[in-house]
Structure 1
Amino acid sequence: MSDGFPDLPQAPPIEGGIRPPKPSYEQFTRQAVFYLPVVRRGELLGYLWAAESNVKAAGFIRSIAARAAGADATSVWGRRLDTFHDRGTPALDAIRGWVGAPEDPVGGAVPPGTRERRVPSLAALHELANPGTPVSSGPLIQDGLYPDGTPVDRSAGWGPLVSVRPPSYATRTATPVLSYPVTRGGTVLGYVWASVSEDAASYLRRARADRDGEIAAGLWEARLADAFGAGVPAADAVRRLRGTPEDPLAGGIAADAQEHQATGLDELDRLARE
């Protein structure tokens, strides 16, 4: 059954294992975004947002200051946006559809008469909601484009596909390594690791995650390449990824994830094969 938006093929389900996530609006965009405040009993819970022209990108950014109330509201708005997505509703129309709706006891409401405002980027909205907190750069492909503006859709004029790994940390080391599990829906997809003493770091998929573990690699390797380009030492780069929000395909690293120390990559390889 179509979800209303033609898109890239979903990863096939793993028999007896994890399944691809339910189709929903894209959670990242490099475009400017329009946003609406969500309040409950006068308290700001967060912001609904939609990409300026990408009809498939929308979401809810919670206010950390609202504590548990903001976290609870996230689930409510996630379900509500999924409902509009399933109907094929363009992203901006989906958030406008909640202006003036009755206040939900958990999710709050967008006050009647509220007009959406515009900020130049999703990062700017994150800063408005939670000043000074780290923001994920998101997946390599957003709005159907690579970071340099190259379209994913070859019919849009893209030439032959050549895979070139961007400059990054060394992918092998003989030294001890630290790592964190990458999870999606409670299932481990792989591990992000770094040498304790050398400039080596990468992503190692978990064998039982199969295709899902492979798909996750692209985003984590891109994040490490960004850190390498910024001159961040490998171990620091990996430690900074702890608390990364869960991506629908690539997963995330829980804020309370425990750092695992291994004598070397061979030990981590054995763990990934279990």
Structure 2
Amino acid sequence: MSNGFPDLPQPPPIDGGLRPPKASYERFTRQAVLYLPVVRGGELIGHLWAAESNPKAAGFVRRLAARAAGAEAADVWGRRLDDAYDRGVPALDAIRRWVGAPEDPVGGAVPAGAREYRAANLDALHELTNPGAPVSRGPLVQDGLYPDGTPADRSQGWGPLVSVRPPSYAARTAAPVLFYPVTRGGTVLGYVWASLSEQAAAYLRRAAAGRDGEVAGGLWEARLAHAFGEGVPAADAVRRLRGTPEDPLAGGVAADAQEGRAANLDELDRLARA
């Protein structure tokens, strides 16, 4: 009588316990998306989409205003995408292969010759498909990244530095500075610099290096924080970095790198933005 219904049999145990969710394409992305119209009986019932550069993100956005049963259509496209994922098909190929395929009585079809469109992100596609309808924000990690761009897999990089900087040298100075370029494969990712007269030193990313320059900063700042903890003067700490072997993500400072000088940090900032 533990369940309060003595006349009802106890439910049988679930064989094997809970099963993990089936692996498939990620149904959320923060990237731009490419999408195709899906119609049934001449009516637009939704859009089939794939992330522009994440080969593991794809899905179907149903059109809520469609007279046709969009929920059932979403199930059809979900199964089709699951099948493509199981076969290792990249997301964009998984949606493009359906252009011109015969119309499914439930899922509809992507018309032959349908034009492929681009939306800035998945939110924009949702707004296009269902204007004014609420949109789920999705999981915190999308495309393998946190919202601030930090990789979920830390073997892929340190990502932007945490908001609380570890104990280290001052990050700004008005005094003249010395600096060395941080390079990877011949490309300048940024600069390690130090004040010539104050205990200030840091890494400055090069704007043209984009995200690679940003990711590299984590390791260089960690090295400077370590030197700070050992009581090494700022200028000596940066000079010791010359000859640091090239890291696959953070780059290195060549052993024959020339020590640069700038009248102040603003001058180095201008060099980094050039």
State the TM-score, normalized to the length of structure 2: 0.52
Aligned position for 1:168: none
User: Contact conserved, 1:29 with 1:51, CA < 8 A, in 2?
Assistant: yes
User: Contact conserved, 1:141 with 1:147, CA < 8 A, in 2?
Assistant: yes
2:91 partner amino acid? A
Secondary structure of the corresponding residue to residue 155 of structure 1: helix
Aligned position for 1:152: 152
Secondary structure of the corresponding residue to residue 71 of structure 1: helix
Give ranges in structure 2 of 5+ residues lacking alignment.
1-13, 165-274
1:69 partner amino acid? A
RMSD of aligned residue pairs (Cα, Å): 2.5
TM alignment of 1:39-188, pairs within 5 A:
39-67=39-67, 69-158=69-158
Secondary structure of the corresponding residue to residue 65 of structure 1: coil
User: Contact conserved, 2:40 with 2:68, CA < 8 A, in 1?
Assistant: no
Q: Displacement of 1:154 after TM fit?
A: 1.5
For residues 67 and 130 of structure 1, the distance between their equivalents in structure 2, rounded to whole angstroms, comes to 14
For residues 118 and 68 of structure 1, the distance between their equivalents in structure 2, rounded to whole angstroms, comes to 25
Number of residue equivalences: 151
2:120 partner amino acid? P
Cα 1:19–1:135 change in 2 (3 A) is same
User: Contact conserved, 1:77 with 1:107, CA < 8 A, in 2?
Assistant: yes
Aligned position for 1:271: none
Q: Displacement of 1:15 after TM fit?
A: 7.6
For residues 119 and 99 of structure 2, the distance between their equivalents in structure 1, rounded to whole angstroms, comes to 19
1:98 partner amino acid? W
Secondary structure of the corresponding residue to residue 35 of structure 1: strand
For residues 154 and 15 of structure 2, the distance between their equivalents in structure 1, rounded to whole angstroms, comes to 31
Aligned position for 1:32: 32
2:153 partner amino acid? D
State the TM-score, normalized to the length of structure 1: 0.52
1:96 partner amino acid? R
Which entry has the higher C-alpha Rg, 1 or 2? Answer: 2
For residues 123 and 67 of structure 1, the distance between their equivalents in structure 2, rounded to whole angstroms, comes to 23
